[in-house]
Amino acid sequence: MGAGFHALQAQFGFRIHSAHSVSGGDIAHAFSLETDKGLFFLKEYRGGEGFKMAACEAEGLRALAGAKALRTPQVAGVLQHGQSGLLLLEYLPAQTASRADYEQLGRGLAALHNHRVVHFGWETDNYIGRLPQRNEPGPAWPEFYANHRLLPQYEMALGRGFLSTQDVPDAGLLLRAIRALAPETEPSLLHGDLWAGNFLVAAPGEACLIDPAVYAGDAEVDLAMTRLFGGFPEPFYAAYHELRPKKPGMERRMLLYQLYYLLVHLNLFGAGYAVSVRRLGRELFGL
């Protein structure tokens, strides 16, 4: 990163005094930078798609910030350096989350989901982890979720040998099931990848969203992801549902929306997630 640091200094007009690698990211290499203009957080996305991935994350953070529901790190800029994309962000120190912080996160997420948009999808395609996420806008949620979320991930898992043809529902069955489970919904602005590692508390009462995969979809998609790997503390859900009460059939839809994230994990991290994908396929589609 030596040459990359020089490029950052030239682009942004600061001097880097020190840089420290930060652990925890699966997709990007991360650094904290101490400069003569303060602290910054740097994410380096390597490879041919690196600049696009960095730019998509910046776009997502700006979209979330524009909803004025929860704080996000301010985007300082995006820079292409060789085969890497560099995303420079405001540095936010992470603190231990309290009950009040989770309540604030729940209220803030409900406010984010109340930020209406015209169509499902997004103006541009982006990424979920390293995987492309197709976002062609459209007026119908079942078609969007079937054609731009589940089917591409199923096809990828089949092509990589993680699933067999018996594990993959045909397009007609998939669409009928989604229509039955989610017949009516309005598009909400989503974080898109909301697990415990993608929010932090910068100061008491200041919950922040990071690492988004934004698009407009059913608000329950974000809730489904929060519940996939152990769930958030109950005060988060209680505060959320004070502003957005539960809808009939929600528990079943949680499984439908968790299926997407399990397919993503299958394609990112390997066959260990195939059992969970097959289980949900049997439960939801009778495979």
Q: How far is CA 187 from CA 10, 58, 121, 193, 227, in A?
A: 41, 21, 8, 16, 21
Q: Which two tokens stand for residue 12?
A: 């942004």
Per the CB < 8 A criterion, the answer to whether 198 and 207 are in contact is no
Chain-centre distance for alpha carbon 69: 16
Angle among Cα 268, 179, 158 to the nearest 5 degrees reads 30
**In this structure, how many other beta carbons lie within 10 angstroms of the beta carbon of residue 207?**
23
Exactly one of 36, 125, 193, 222 is catalytic; name it. 193
Per the CB < 8 A criterion, the answer to whether 258 and 277 are in contact is no
Q: Which residue has the tokens 């996939």?
A: 228
Query: Is 222 a known active-site residue?
Result: no
> Which residues are part of the catalytic machinery?
193
